[in-house]
Structure 1
Amino acid sequence: MFYEKNNELSKNQTSSPSSSSVSKRVYTVEEIIEILGVSKTTAYNLVNSGSFHCVKVGGHYRISKKSFDKWLDDIDETINDCQVCE
């Protein structure tokens, strides 16, 4: 489910002609909400949990795509060890 949504978001990304050779390196909180299908509160709890690398730029969080994708991949291995639900 997560992977399909992630792939769908990647396909739907529109890029300007000048940035067509640059791949997306960060997600927004809104994209995390869409990928995971969680509430805004849960998404911000995840961002603040330190589970993956993120920075705040101009009042908005930017989440490292590489870090988030690795975290998401690792969930499959530890599906019963939810870091946010504890």
Structure 2
Amino acid sequence: MNTSTTNEKETSQNRTYTVGGIAAILAIGRASAYKLATSGAFKTIRIGNMIRISRKSFEDWLKAEGLDDEME
């Protein structure tokens, strides 16, 4: 049994959001979330045609926008 694979998956999930994830957090549509993700407002990484958003960068952006209190 290889438990490191499970731990690695959990770690990567904790460090990034998907575009669908930020759409759900912000209660916006996927198209709007894609526009936001590609706007340069926060750090992203493209893997093939997938976009992953840095959790820290996104949460810092939420704070800067004054939206972090509304999300709790």
TM-score interval for Structure 1 and Structure 2 normalised by the shorter chain: 0.7 to 0.9
Q: 1:22 matched to which residue of 2?
A: 11
State the Cα RMSD in Å. 2.0
Q: 1:31 matched to which residue of 2?
A: 21
CA displacement 1:35-76 (0-9 Å, x = unmatched): 000011110110111000001112100000000000001111
Residue segments in structure 1 that go unaligned for 5+ positions in a row: 1-16, 78-86
Identity %: 39
Q: 1:44 matched to which residue of 2?
A: 34
Q: Which amino acid aligns with 2:15?
A: R
TM (norm. structure 2) is: 0.74
- Give the CA deviation at 1:22: 3.4
Q: 1:13 matched to which residue of 2?
A: none
Q: 1:8 matched to which residue of 2?
A: none
The reply to whether residue 72 of structure 1 matches residue 72 of structure 2 is no
